[in-house]
Amino acid sequence: MSGVALVSDLAARLRAGWLLTRPVAPDTAAALAHRWAELPASARSPAQLLGRRTAGCEGTHGVFPRCNLACTPCYHGRDANRVRTDGTHTVAEVDRQMRYLRAVRGTDQHAQLIGGEVSLLDPDDHAAALQAMIRHGRKPLSMTHGDFDYEYLRRLAIGPDGQRRFRLLRFAGHFDSLMLGRRGIPRPRSEAELHPYRRAFVQMFELLRREHGVRSDLAHNMTVTPRNLPEVAEVVRGCMGMGFGMLSFQPAAYVGNRARWREDFHSVDIDAVWREIERGAGTRLPWRHLQMGDPRCNRSAYGVLAGARWTPLLDDRDPRDLRARDTFLDTLGGMNFERSLPVVATATARVVARHPRVLPLAVGWATRFVRRAGVRRLLTGRPRGLTFVVHAFIDADVVRPAWDALERGETADDPTVRGAQERLQACSYAMAHPEQGRLVPACVQHAVLDTEENLHLQRLLPVKQDGVTETQST
Ligand code: SF4
């Protein structure tokens, strides 16, 4: 190689390394700034993560609405089960939606492969959908009821050529006693009865790691109604030690299939669910200092579980921790930490070089955190991250007028509808409609758009073609 070629090759490598170790990609930074600017003023608090840490979660729609369990409630309409699960349609639609998300929200955002039941997809199609999401810069997470076998998981993770398709799989398993038809326990009488199934779900992923080196990041989801509210604490106690990285709870809302609305959902609110989670965790779970979107929609507590004790990452009552939060969000907020260690270390070093004040603040925060969690517990208690989440959907009959008014550029007079408008404007969970060039909140998707979309899908993918009868559908 000539001297000139050598210099040019070196320059190309340096440039590639420079781009690879950027703290935040420019399009992601622009998307975050845009999200921040469009938030309602009331949501732009120092605690707000939207527009600073993330543009928000994303989810697919109109892909595979069918499910083979029956939940009471179910946020899908009755028509959802009249649509055939079709891999070709799913992969094409996921690709289309993710391409749009990539264009308007940048890279490195979390996106849920969600519809009806994802494991009704052939494992190769499921893998192709995840690969499309990754190709478009998403961090995909498959939403499932978890009622599938290890062989399905293995065939998803390992291609027909025997090669590993993924280094990491993210799954959210939905387990609660309101779900009917699970193999082995079609009508659970309590949440505790489902613990062996929750454990078996995690164990499948542990086996996958042992046998094929595929890591996993698992969340546990549970719908909460008056019936199982008193058992939330038991679910938290049971699941904390199982290996989930997130325990997420959704108080039921009046959305979807009316035939499945069997209780007074309004008697359970986000506060009641949070109290039960705290009872199960055996500690206060501070959340106000880190907010995703609107507090009427979301509540999250981020921390570390070590030696059966959960410690929050930030002490919300310590002004020094709040200063560390502010500095983190200002300087490192949009950074993707789920890259290789050398890349993350270099990207962090670049930020520190530009903002040296980060370093003493980080050291101070880390020292305080280790003190709070306990050195010994951190050394011997197998520490791992554990986040508690509550996500409360809005009733469909409130979403509709709220969305209609927003579409007309009006603010509703009715305080309930106005409240829903504020929540929709600060929404942290978006779905893409590339054909209309816009994103919509998941609440709008399910309350307003799903019905029409499922009718279209019924015509496109009639269920009889795969031999499934409609008796399974309601
Ligand atoms: S999807 Fe609905 S409940 Fe969830 S954050 Fe958006 S507006 Fe709030």
- The structure's pTM equals 0.94
2 — pLDDT class (breaks 50, 70, 90): confident
Tell me the CA–centroid distance for residue 199 and ligand 1, in Å.
29
* pLDDT given at position 88: 98
Q: What mean pLDDT do residues 292-303 have? A: 98
Q: Please indicate whether residue 447, judged by its CB atom, sits closer than 6 Å to ligand 1.
A: no
* pLDDT given at position 470: 39
* pLDDT given at position 398: 98
* pLDDT given at position 257: 85
| pLDDT tens digits, one per residue of 246-264 | 999 999 999 988 888 889 9
Ligand 1 atom index nearest CA of 392: 3
Tell me the CA–centroid distance for residue 269 and ligand 1, in Å.
15
- Burial label for 275, CB within 10 Å (0-12, 13-18, 19+), is middle
CA proximity to 388, closest of 293, 275, 266: 275
CATH of 56-308+381-472, one of 3.40.190, 3.30.450, 3.20.20, 3.30.70: 3.20.20
Tell me the CA–centroid distance for residue 294 and ligand 1, in Å.
8
Residue 157 has pLDDT above 60, yes or no: yes
Ligand 1 atom index nearest CA of 298: 5
| pLDDT tens digits, one per residue of 318-357 | 999 999 999 999 999 999 999 999 999 999 999 999 999 9
Residue 284 has pLDDT above 80, yes or no: yes
Tell me the CA–centroid distance for residue 192 and ligand 1, in Å.
29
| pLDDT tens digits, one per residue of 79-110 | 889 999 999 999 999 999 999 999 999 999 99
372 — pLDDT class (breaks 50, 70, 90): very high
Give the residue, out of 418, 428, 444, with the most ligand 1 atoms within 8 A of its beta carbon, to mutate for a pocket test. 428
| pLDDT tens digits, one per residue of 54-76 | 999 999 999 999 999 998 898 88
| pLDDT tens digits, one per residue of 212-236 | 999 999 999 999 999 999 999 999 9
| pLDDT tens digits, one per residue of 379-438 | 999 999 999 999 999 999 999 999 999 999 999 999 999 999 999 999 999 999 999 999
Tell me the CA–centroid distance for residue 443 and ligand 1, in Å.
6
Q: Where along the chain do its domains lie?
A: 56-308+381-472, 316-376
* pLDDT given at position 469: 40
| pLDDT tens digits, one per residue of 116-142 | 999 999 999 999 999 999 999 999 999
**In percent, how much of the chain has pLDDT > 70?**
98
Q: Please indicate whether residue 431, judged by its CB atom, sits closer than 6 Å to ligand 1.
A: no
When the pLDDT of each residue in the chain is averaged and rounded to a whole number, the result is: 95
**In percent, how much of the chain has pLDDT > 90?**
91
159 — pLDDT class (breaks 50, 70, 90): very high
Q: Please indicate whether residue 427, judged by its CB atom, sits closer than 6 Å to ligand 1.
A: yes
d(CA 300, CA 270): 11
Ligand 1 atom index nearest CA of 423: 7
